[in-house]
Amino acid sequence: MRDVFHEQLDAVFDDLTAICGQVEVAVRRSTEALMSGDAAVAEQVITDDVEIDRAREKVEESAFELLSLQQPVAGDLRVIIAALRMVTELERMGDLSVHVAKIARLRVPNVAVPEGIIDTMTKMAETAEDMVRRVGRIIRHRDVSAAIELGRDDEVMDQLRRHSFTQLLGDDWAHGVEAAVDVALLGRYYERIADHAVSIANRVVFVVTGEKVYRGGEL
């Protein structure tokens, strides 16, 4: 009976890994729409988000079934609760990608990101996508060392976010209020994607070790 339970639990983590892959695609495509002003790509991100929602519902149903039928002991209960929290964060990451796509769609046929800040925004997008990719591997392998490393590397995103504000508030900003609002929101969305990735990685550490991790990856 316990072997079956752990097989079912492993299946939940396989589903979490798959959702992470969907989120990675959403982040990449929303950035493509943002940088190219491609309305069709933006619409695809928005439409495909329902698949992430459905995958989240599947994980929740599986987790609740394990809770109700298998009567997990303390360690296994910790894993199930962590999985439920992780899938919620993954869904939110998908939602944040949709927010990026909606800004891209709103500014078509123009590009929402002014030329002078494209480099910073591109780096933020690449950092967010890389962190999603890495957290997928962390979930799959329950890799504690990689999870802690991801938390420490989040400082890269924080630095980019601060730099974007420096650009927005500079005396040479000549793109108007509307563009400034777009850039501020986009920076926030990418930063939040990274924050959720770190939070998920920290939950993996908790699943494996039973120890909580502070945001920066310190036990």
8-state DSSP, 171: T
Q: Could you tell me if 161 and 187 are in contact, meaning their C-beta atoms sit under 8 angstroms apart?
A: yes
Question: Sorting pLDDT into bands at 50, 70 and 90, what band is 218?
Answer: low
Q: Look up tokens 């990449």; give the residue.
A: 28
Q: List, in order of start, the domains of the chain with CATH numbers.
A: 2-209 (1.20.58.220)
Residue 178 has pLDDT above 90, yes or no: yes
Of 148, 209, 207, 199, give the one whose Cα is nearest residue 9. Answer: 207
Residue 152 has pLDDT above 60, yes or no: yes
Record the pTM.
Answer: 0.93
8-state DSSP, 116: G
What the block records as the tokens of 40 is 């069709």
Question: How far apart (Å, rounded) are the C-alpha atoms in residues 65 and 82?
Answer: 15
Instruction: Say what the alpha-carbon torsion angle 198, 202, 203, 204 is, to the nearest 10 degrees.
Output: 100
CA distances for 138 relative to 9, 31, 113, 129, 187, angstroms: 16, 23, 32, 14, 25
What the block records as the tokens of 90 is 């993954």
Of 51, 35, 193, 196, give the one whose Cα is nearest residue 118. Answer: 35
Residue 153 has pLDDT above 90, yes or no: no
Residue 183's contacts (CB-CB under 8 Å, 6 or more residues apart) are: 112, 113, 114, 117, 121, 164, 167, 168
User: Tell me: the pLDDT tens digits for 16-66?
Assistant: 999 999 999 999 999 999 999 999 999 999 999 999 999 999 999 999 988
